[in-house]
Amino acid sequence: AASIALMSATAYKKVDPPPAHLSKDTDADCIRRRMEAMLRKGQDKICAAIEKCDGQGKFRTDCYLNERGGGGISRVLAGGAVWEKAGVNLSVVYGSMPSETLAAARERQAQYAKELVPGQKVPFVAVGLSCVMHPRNPHCPTMHFNYRYFETEVGDWWFGGGTDITPAYLDEEDMKHFHGVYKKVCDKHDPHFYAKFKKWADEYFVIKHRGETRGLGGIFFDDLNDRDPLTIFSFAEECLDNVVPAYVPIIEKHKNDPFTEDQKRWQLLRRGRYVEFNLVYDRGTIFGLKTGLGRTEAILMTLPEFARWEYNHQPAPDSPEAEIMDAFKNPRDWV
């Protein structure tokens, strides 16, 4: 899940410091401004927690403004003691996309979208925060989240997002903790959310040409607009607020675990799978690259610095690697 597009290379300029807001809206209470403010607060909170846990690495901040309005704030940590690479990217995008791209970017189809002429441009605004974190230690899982709001010129709107985890080795207690945090959040807002969004994650994060999932899931939702927007906003806000409680305790538990070269090799093989999913199937990456609206560095921030591919690699029977491969091929209920 790559960052929502930050506009093309010819349309943006770097600025320092970032402005108070990236939105063109003058009403601070509108949903677009509120979403941006909430996501920027979350970006600050999460980056601070990651820096504290890492103890060495610091996030580099880059802000870009687009001449047509909007822009983005990219925060990337590289070369940390715990994380090889971590990125948390905010985007506020104004643009137009072909009706076909709009359809590809969505799970649900609004009636007006079905009636658009092929190739017809659809003006939209998108506000989102995307993150991927790749730790050094093979016993520390990669984590991804994305929370976003879309709105078209004709007034159609929806929220999307989720948080998911990608370990190289299975620790069932870690998975119970991670999924348990998000089940608690979901249950607070709708008793049907967790089962629905957990299943959605299991079905979305599938590497179809491999017949396996990218990781061990979490929650994922898209095109959510079945209730008042501020109600969904509150749900997205609480999901974002729980990124640190769901993830950082797992990292603290494992960041000093000893590991072998073979375990590191396995981690890099699994990162290769991560790359395959992001470049072939991820909706955010496809949207950002194919619309021509994307700032490439922000979109591809999600990719690890190091990955590995080996011809027809098969884990040894009854090994820890085989154990987690079974979980990748057969999604489980963790809570």
Active site residues: 144
Q: What DSSP state is assigned to residue 221?
A: E
Q: Which long-range contacts (CB under 8 A, 24 or more apart) does 46-53 make?
A: 46/88, 46/131, 46/243, 46/244, 47/75, 47/77, 47/88, 49/244, 49/248, 50/77, 50/83, 50/86, 50/133, 50/248, 51/77, 53/82, 53/248, 53/251, 53/252, 53/255
Beta strands in 70-190 (DSSP E): 70-78, 83-98, 121-135, 142-152, 157-166
Dist. CA 221–CA 196, nearest whole Å: 9
Dist. CA 322–CA 303, nearest whole Å: 24
| Residues whose CB is less than 8 angstroms from the CB of residue 52 and which lie 6 or more positions away in sequence, other chains included | none
